[in-house]
Amino acid sequence: MSLKKNKTTRGFTLLEMLIAIAIFAMLGLAANAVLSTVMKNDEVTAEFAQRLKSLQQGFGALERDFGQMVARTPRLLEGGRGSTVIQTGKDMFDSESEAIVFYRIGWLNPDGLLPRGSLQSVAYVVQENNLERWYFPYPEPEFGAEPIKTVVIKNVLSVEYSFFVEDKWERKFDATSLPKAIAMAVEVEGLGTVQRKFLLPLGAMLTKDNQNNSGNNNGNNSGNNNGNNSGGNNGGGKGGGSGGKEDENG
């Protein structure tokens, strides 16, 4: 007589199932928390990178303008010209912080399509917490003319300028000639104070005496050139005429 042993299949108990479900639930919550943190960090990084890119583009525009600054005085409303080549202050153009006004050259005009030169009047003004670049279509705009405005840097709280004159930094100077460099401290919301220094091209004031001398020199040179050219032409004409007579006589 053979005895057969019955084999029974044993499953998971309810307690084991509950424990397994709890473990998987905690793993899911942990993975969700990690994923949310990664996504949030990615958004913050992308936003910071965009702000940094915008900030770099703004300073790039400033560097181009400062790098082509020229020592030119503005025209006064009552006639004549001023004595300063750079104007700065908080009471200009209703700016919320310090503003700066100057002239620059190198304004592109391909093939002379536009009726203007390469000289441009530029101003940097803070309005509505934005650093804006203002410029006019012509270097000497009419009184009351509206400038063309472009936002350069957003969320600006304050702007301060310093000027490198006589081997030291000064907050104020006479501005009758260009400084060697300009330092700009911009306080940006969420980023703190960012400072940049810009080297300026060497330039000097063009005085009235220099203008008169330049005009006299140009006049004298043109007069001398015209006289020499006319003399040469007359001489050539006479020579040609006498040569013709000699040929006839011969």
Strand, coil or helix: what is 186? Answer: strand
Task: Name the fold adopted by 66-199.
Answer: Pili subunits (3.10.610)
Which residues, at least 6 apart from 69, have a Cβ–Cβ distance to it below 8 Å? 86, 102, 103, 104, 178, 200, 201, 203
79-98 pLDDT, tens digit each: 788 889 999 998 888 899 99
Q: What is the pTM of this model?
A: 0.66
pLDDT digits (tens, 9 = 90+) for 14-69: 888 899 999 999 999 999 999 999 999 999 889 888 888 999 999 999 999 999 99
CA distance 232 to 134: 54
Hey, what long-range contacts does 22-25 have (CB within 8 A, 24 or more apart)?
none
Q: Which two tokens stand for residue 93?
A: 């153009």
